[in-house]
Amino acid sequence: MKRLAPLFLAVSIAALSACGQQPAKDDAASTAPDAKPGLALSEGVLVLPAVKGNPAGGYFTLVNNGDKAVTLSAVSVTGAARAEMHETTGESMAALPSLQIKPGETVKFERGGKHVMAFELDPALTAGNTGEITLTFADGDKVSAPLKLEAPGGGMDDMAGMDHSEHSN
């Protein structure tokens, strides 16, 4: 029995140590972006460019179910060096520095209207996989959601012929 005492002690210490550890799920939650209450981000799609080096187009639906207006001030896409909000009106496209969303309002970032341009993409972003988009609001709160990665040309015909060279580095 004396020979088993060190083994019993080691197992007991290991069991007690494990009791104080939080599950891995909690560790992941603590590093995830904070979700802004009252907002629902869905239908995220990133259409990859047909020509390497060109920007990708990001689309999603954002609903403000809260009781206060919020101001969307920035967007980021995992695997993109930078991302910008833009709006197409007629034949013209311009950067959209911020966007106020009223209580109860639904805003669609879609082809031919408001959209996200994602620049300098990581080659690991490939069609059929999933990425992530994070929206940042003026008060610092964030909301993130998955992005379905679509093949080049996946509905970006309305952006053909537009000059994006001013957005390249």
pLDDT digits (tens, 9 = 90+) for 109-118: 999 999 999 9
Q: Rounded to two decimals, what is the model's pTM?
A: 0.70
Q: What is the mean pLDDT of the chain?
A: 79
Beta carbons of 131 and 79 less than 8 angstroms apart: yes
pLDDT at residue number 89: 92
The ranges assigned to domains in the chain are 31-156
Give the pLDDT band of residue 36 (cuts 50, 70, 90).
Answer: confident
The CATH code for residues 31-156 is: 2.60.40.1890
Strand positions, DSSP E, 49-141:
56-64, 70-77, 80-89, 92-95, 99-101, 106-109, 114-121, 130-137
pLDDT tens per residue, range 55-86:
999 999 999 999 999 999 999 999 999 999 99
pLDDT at residue number 47: 97
- What does the block give as tokens for 120? 């300098």
79, burial (CB in 10 Å: exposed 0-12, middle 13-18, buried 19+): buried
- What does the block give as tokens for 34? 């904070």
* Mean pLDDT on 95-108: 97
